[in-house]
Structure formats: C-alpha cells, structure tokens
Amino acid sequence: MMNKGYRYLIGIWFFLVAGCEEVIDVNLKDATPQLVIVGEVSNRMEDQDVIISRTVTFDQEQPFDPVSGAIVTIHDGRGTLLELTERAPGRYSRRFKGEIGQTYQLRVRVEGQEFTATSRMPEPVLIDSIGTGVRNIFGEEQKFISVKYGDPVGVANYYRYLWRVNNGPRKAIRITNDKFNDGKYVNEDVTDFDTELVTGDSVTLWMLCVDKTTYDFWNVVQANNPGTAAPANPPSVFGPGALGYFSAQTVAEYSVGIQ
C-alpha cells in the first residue's frame, strides 16, 4: 500500500545517493533506569508471561536488566484473579488459556508503585495461505514470506508478526493495520530488512491479532527510522512511570520452508 510505495521510493533514493556508512562513537547520556512492563495473554493454553525489566545504558552488552520481587496479577473479567509467579528473574508466568472477546486487567506492584492496564482480546483472523515470495529490486533478488488472509470488514484490525528463522531467536518483525484495506483480501509481504532469507531456511511465523494500544506501541517502534525528525518512546498504557504494554491477543503459528 502506501508503505509499499514508500519502500520503492526509499529504494530509489538510496540507489541515487549511494551513501557511505561507517560505525562511529557517539557520546550518549546515561538515562536514569526506567521500568519496562510487557504483559501478554494469548488464546492458547500456554505460559502467559509478564516481563518486568529496567532500561540500561546504551553501552551495556546486555540489554535486559530484570526486576524481581514484583507482585503480578491478571484479572480475567469474570471475577477470577490469577496470580503470576516469578519463574525466572523478571519473568512472571502462569499457564492458562485466554478467551477471545474477554477483557483482562493486569496489575503490577513493584518497588512501592502500582501499575494497571486492561486489554480486550480481539477476534482472530487466520491466514489462508502462506508461502515464499520473491521480488527483484534493482537486480537483487529478495525473498520474503507471503501471507494471505481476508480482513474482516467494518472493524479495525491490528496485526503483529514475529518469526524465528532456523534456530535464531524469536523476533518481532512487523506491525500492520487495515487503515487502507479494511475488508479486503490482503496479501502481506512479511520480511525484516536485517535478515536475508535463503532457500532451505525454515521459518516459524507467528501472526498475532492485537488491540489498538499494542498496535500504537509497536507502530511507534516501527515508525522510528533514521529519517524521523523526532523519534520518541512508544506510548505506554502504564502512564509516565513505566514503558511497555499489555496485550490480550490471538496467536496463530505457522511453519514455512523457504523455497
């Protein structure tokens, strides 16, 4: 869509100016560590995780600084209060299955502060077909995962994609919405500019249907590119005291062999 057009545009632009790139040293300030809370509830029977951490300085080799000792509960909207236990430093879990259409409330008590957030699990949209796609940009072949699905008409839908390529880490790659294609049969090219897919790669792809606040979070992350005049933190459902989001989401998992 618009994005696709812009991608071509950016391609042409970089082709034109063929800039030179080098790694440099930038003297960045060390911000006071800020809490980060990321909670997810899915429609699968699995460990539902709430990860609590702190930001670290740019130079730190390990970007994850876990926060232990928090009290974490999820209220399922039917009067059940589920308590999560810390299975690993900063990782608070409980095994249960979320329900579509249900609104969940997360409550986190940590270091004398309390944070709450709610999220409603949207209706799932399932992929009809998935396969390998190829495009040719300025003589270079680029492979991607081609995903087809029917977007439900009349409702705002938000889609999030994660993948694992071969035995690599599970990684968030893309967020989309149906602003320009509500109700259409959508053909989405899923790719990540940092990863080059080759024949024989095995990819696990997760397609998530998320709510608007989760979309807003990831959309800001995605929109912060080098050409952004004012990059910013994604909006937080927890208010100014903590970064992060809470997402009740449907998850569908697919396996693809790259051809």
Partner 1 sequence: MSFTWFRTVFLAGVAVFFVFPSCVFSQMSHVVSGRIHDAETGETLIGASIRLQGADAVGTRTNNYGFFSLTVETGMQVLVFSHVGYQTQEIPVNLTKDTVLNVNLGHGEVLEEVVVSQSALQGNIRNPQMGVARVDVNEIKHIPVLMGEKDVLKTIQLLPGVLSGGEGSSSFFVRGGTGDQNLILLDEAMVYNASHLFGFFSTFNSDAIKEVNLYKGGMPARYGGRLASVLDISMLDGNKKDVGVEGGVGLIASRLKIDGPIVKDRGSFMVSGRRTYADLFLKLSNDEEIKNSQLYFYDLNAKANYRVDDKNTLFLSGYFGRDVLGYSNLFGFDWGNATGTLRWNHVWNSRLFSNTTFVYSNFNYDVTIENDEFNFVIASRIRNYNLKQDFQFFPSNKSTWRFGVNVLQQSISPANIDANENTAVNSLQLDNRKGMELAAYLSHEWKPTNRLRLIYGLRLNNFMLFGPGTFYTYDGEGDAVEGREFGRGEVVQHYLNLEPRLSISYQLDNQNSIKLSYNRNTQNLHQLSNSTSSLPTDAWVMSSNTIKPQLADQAALGYYQNFAGNRYEFSMESYYKHMQNQLDYRDAADLQANEHIEGELLFGTGRAYGVEVFLKKREGRLNGWVSYALSRSERQFDDINGGSWFAARQDRTHDASVVGMYQLSSRWNLSATFVYSTGNAVTFPSGKYTVDGRTLWYYTERNGYRMPDYHRLDLGATWESSIAKRFTSSWTFGIYNVYNRKNAFIIDFREKEGNPNATEAYQIALFGIVPSVTWSFKF
Phi then psi for residue 251, to 5 deg, are -125, 130
Residue number with CB closer to partner 1 (73 or 181): 181
11 binds partner 1 (CB under 8 A): yes
**Distance between CA 129 and CA 15 in Å, rounded?**
33
Report helix, strand or coil for 80: coil
Does the footprint of partner 1 cover residue 1 (CB under 8 A)? Answer: yes
Report if residue 132 touches partner 1, rule: CB under 8 A. no
Of 80, 85, 129, 136, which lies in the binding site for partner 1, with binding defined by CB under 8 A?
Answer: 136
> Quick one: which of 83, 97, 156, 171 contacts partner 1 (CB under 8 A)?
171
Token readout for 71 is: 């009290």
Considering only 145, 186, 203, 210, the residue that binds partner 1 (CB under 8 A) is 186
Among 44, 47, 54, 82, binds partner 1 (CB under 8 A): 54
Site for partner 1 in 81-100 (CB under 8 A): none
What is the rounded distance in angstroms from the CA atom of residue 98 to the CA atom of residue 43? 4
Rg (CA), the chain: 20
Based on CB atoms, which residue is closest to partner 1, 162 or 258?
162
- Are the CB atoms for 124 and 250 separated by under 8 Å? yes
According to CB under 8 A, which one of 93, 132, 181, 204 is a site residue for partner 1? 181
Ranges within 193-232 binding partner 1 (CB under 8 A): 194, 216, 219-221, 223-224, 226-232
**CA gap 160, 206 in Å, rounded:** 8
CB 243 within 8 A of CB 54: no
Q: How many residues bind partner 1 (CB under 8 A)?
A: 75
